[in-house]
């Protein structure tokens, strides 16, 4: 699981470990470097890129095409948000 530096705490991390979940997050102030820290920034970039792609596709498809007047087709102006 990837999270920000606010995902911390002995009990929280112990619960994740019991479930077999590895937590990837940056170290907090005064904390020693954490395992996997070298992967954090590249993963954040990939996640940001994916989110940007979804945002761009959701705004470009925000309205349906309008059928010509008198064509007999009902207009649908729905969007995925």
**Is residue 15 classed as helix, strand or coil in its secondary structure?**
helix
8 Å CB contact between 66 and 75: yes
SS (H, E, C) 39-61: HHHHHHHHHHHHHHHHHHHHHHC
Asked whether residue 23 is domain-assigned, the answer is yes
Kindly give the parts of the chain with pLDDT less than 50. 75-81
Q: Residue 23: which domain range?
A: 1-28
Asked whether residue 46 is domain-assigned, the answer is no
User: What pLDDT score was predicted for residue 71?
Assistant: 54
8 Å CB contact between 67 and 75: yes
Total number of domains in the chain: 1
User: What pLDDT score was predicted for residue 27?
Assistant: 86
Angle at Cα 36 formed by Cα 35 and Cα 42, nearest 5°?
155
Instruction: Give the pTM.
Output: 0.48
């Amino acid at each position: 699981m990837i999270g920000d530096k606010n995902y911390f705490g002995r009990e929280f991390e112990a619960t994740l470990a019991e479930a077999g979940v590895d937590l990837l997050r940056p170290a907090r102030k005064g904390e020693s470097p954490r395992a996997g820290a070298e992967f954090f920034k590249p993963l954040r970039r990939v996640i940001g890129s994916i989110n940007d792609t979804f945002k761009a596709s959701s705004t470009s498809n925000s309205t349906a095409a309008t059928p010509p007047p008198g064509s007999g087709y009902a207009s649908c102006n729905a969007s995925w948000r």
